Amino acid sequence: MILEARDVQKFYGEFCALDGVSLGVNAGEFVSIIGPNGAGKTTLLNVLTGLLRPNAGRVYFKERDITGIGPVGLARLGMARSFQLVSIFPELTVLEVLKVAVLSRLRKGTRLFASLERDREVGRQAVEVAELFSLADKLDTLAKYLPQGDKKLLDVASAFALHPEIILLDEPTSGVSTREKNKIMEILVSASERIGIKSIIQVEHDMDIVFGYSDRIIVLHEGRVLADSPPEEIRANEEVVDTVLGRKDRARARRGSA
């Protein structure tokens, strides 16, 4: 098992956002986390990636306790989540954003911007990632001027540039058209195979994407795991369908099982 959470609890004041959540992810799995607003999805992702320390419970990566270690420490161990560097560095070009991520992996952050121009190896690796994500023709474009779909690709590409063993993504296709969503997912899956990423975990609201790409789906409801099963079992789970999926997504799930 590459990633595991055991009996994780997280409170915000008196509000319990996660109530005894346990899960495991094996190498080779594409796992989606779904649930209604307020179910605890993003909180869980933040706990898994060390941005938040749980009030109780532990998180393990390759059997090592990583509870609260933080995203920088996790990246060095081989686990990453999308940086959203487009929002952080909107005045940088596509190439420069990817160089920032590569520099982080190579631990050259102390001379970050001085290195952006003169480190040829950093540039070479950044271009390779851009090519994997169909961004090679936009290397000189400022991140803020990219179409929304390309901004999403760049966000994901910046995480892939860390060459992690496992990557966690928070709604990688939100805010883009259906056609762009499928393009992003196809590129994401292809790039993960090329780079050698072992597992992908995503929080996603689009049920077409969830059922189309997931090996397993974890359903959260009111801070607890309601179901943890392959897509075909989630489709057949009446409690999940009635409690979590809306009318439109319920119809999609049923069509998918036909």
SS (H, E, C) 229-248: ECHHHHHHCHHHHHHCCCHH
| Spatial contact of 201 and 25, defined as CB atoms under 8 Å apart | yes
| Spatial contact of 235 and 211, defined as CB atoms under 8 Å apart | yes
d(CA 197, CA 155): 16
Provide the residue type at 54 as one letter.
Answer: P
**Of residues 2, 5, 31, 29, the one with CA closest to residue 18:** 5
- Domains in the chain and their CATH numbers? 1-77+164-173+196-258 (3.40.50.300), 79-163 (no CATH)
d(CA 197, CA 191): 8
Q: Which pTM does this prediction carry? A: 0.86
Using CA atoms, how far residue 179 sits from 149, 191, 193, 208, 215, in Å, is 10, 18, 22, 12, 22
d(CA 19, CA 9): 5
d(CA 137, CA 231): 37
d(CA 197, CA 45): 18
> What φ, ψ does residue 146 adopt, rounded to 5°?
-70, 145
Residue 110 has what pLDDT? 47
| Spatial contact of 136 and 127, defined as CB atoms under 8 Å apart | yes
Residue 85 has what pLDDT? 60
| Per-residue pLDDT of the chain in tens (258 residues, 90 and over written 9) | 999 999 999 999 999 999 999 999 999 999 999 999 899 999 999 999 988 999 999 999 999 999 988 878 888 899 998 865 667 788 999 999 999 888 877 765 545 555 555 578 889 999 999 999 999 999 999 999 999 889 989 999 999 998 899 999 988 888 888 888 999 999 999 999 999 999 999 999 899 999 999 999 999 999 999 999 999 999 999 989 888 875 555 555 555 554
